Amino acid sequence: MMSFEGRAIAVRKVVSNKGRKTAGFDKVVWTSPSDRYKAIVELRNILLEKSGVYKSGPVRRVWIKKSSKNEYRPLGISNMIDRALQALVLLCLDPIVEEKSDPYSFGFRKFRGTHDAVQRVRTLLDKSSRPEYLWDADISKCFDEISHKFIKEQLKVLLCKRGNEFIYKWLTAPIIDKGIKRIPKKGIPQGNLISPLLCNVALNGLENAVRKGLPDPNSSVGRKLKGSWVVRYADDFVVTSKIYDRLVNEHIPMLESFYRNVG
């Protein structure tokens, strides 16, 4: 994280993002090469500070209307320097999470998209061992409900102590919503550069939760159950099964148990 190149890439990510002209609570926007160079230097100063000195700035919350629905979703806007620090930690954490991600998770990952998730479901349905039953679901208010404690437990084995300290500060950064300040006790702020990755950190393991306890797929019993799969895109997922009772009485309860731990 200390390299000039890494810090420069992080700043570039912020100033090339579609929110580059949107200021955070401190009303600062980087518009010139001089601003960007100062930000690179400021990142170095933050990294050189003693552990525990850094404090995340408040997150300015705005409400964005959902397309196709008469509803609004919250969007958190951090200060530019906090975004750059998130981009820097993301550079370190993303390859590690990618290595440990569920095979059939397609959301918030490089070179994967919705079309890949659809293709995976289609491939399963085209197989001779295709599932007979399919359950389509989504996790309600996923970003808002994820447990901070659970995220911290997952991150301990993924990232160094200093990197984790930064993430903990972002999770508990004050949120300013219509002039009212509150400290979040749970949830991941939507809008943070690192939030999509943290969502995957929390939900990786969903596939194992469903397939846990299934017989060896090469055994005679296991071959009959090869239709049990999970395909996930962010907080939307599909669970398949060849046997209805197994889907209803085993897979779905396992998913519910998994998510109770997450949120």
Decide which of 116 and 128 is more confident: 116
- Residue 49 has a pLDDT of 87
Using alpha carbons, select from 165, 187, 167 the residue that is nearest to residue 175.
187
Is 80 exceeded by the pLDDT of residue 260?
Answer: yes
Rounded to 10°, the helix 195-203/148-155 angle is 80
d(CA 169, CA 231) in angstroms, rounded, equals 32
Neighbours of 168 (CB within 10 A): 15
Report d(CA 63, CA 73) in Å as an integer: 6
Residue 109 has pLDDT above 60, yes or no: yes
Q: How confident is the model at residue 15 (pLDDT cuts 50, 70, 90)?
A: very high
Q: Which amino acid is at 186?
A: K
Q: What is the pLDDT of residues 240-257, one digit of tens each?
A: 888 888 888 888 888 888
- Please say if the pLDDT value at position 68 is more than 60: yes
pTM, 2 dp: 0.88
| Mean pLDDT estimate for the chain | 89
**Strand ranges across the sheet with 72-77:** 72-77, 59-65, 175-177, 180-182
H runs (alpha helix) in the chain: 4-16, 33-48, 80-100, 114-126, 142-145, 148-155, 161-171, 195-203, 206-211, 220-224, 244-246, 252-262
Q: What is the pLDDT of residue 132?
A: 87
Tokens of 31: 């518009």
Beta bridge partners of 75: 62
Q: What's the rounded mean pLDDT across residues 22-35?
A: 95
pLDDT at 40: 97
Confidence of residue 65 (pLDDT cuts 50, 70, 90): confident
Q: How do strand 59-65 and strand 175-177 relate by DSSP bridges?
A: parallel
Indicate the helix (H) or strand (E) that contains 53.
Answer: none
Q: What's the pLDDT score for residue 219?
A: 53
Instruction: Kindly report, residue by residue over 158-205, the tens digit of the pLDDT.
Output: 888 888 999 999 999 999 998 999 999 999 988 899 999 999 999 998
DSSP string for 205-231? THHHHHHTTPPPTTSHHHHHTTT-EEE
Q: Give the angle 209-132-121 at the CA atoms, nearest 5°.
A: 65
* 57 DSSP 8-state letter: P
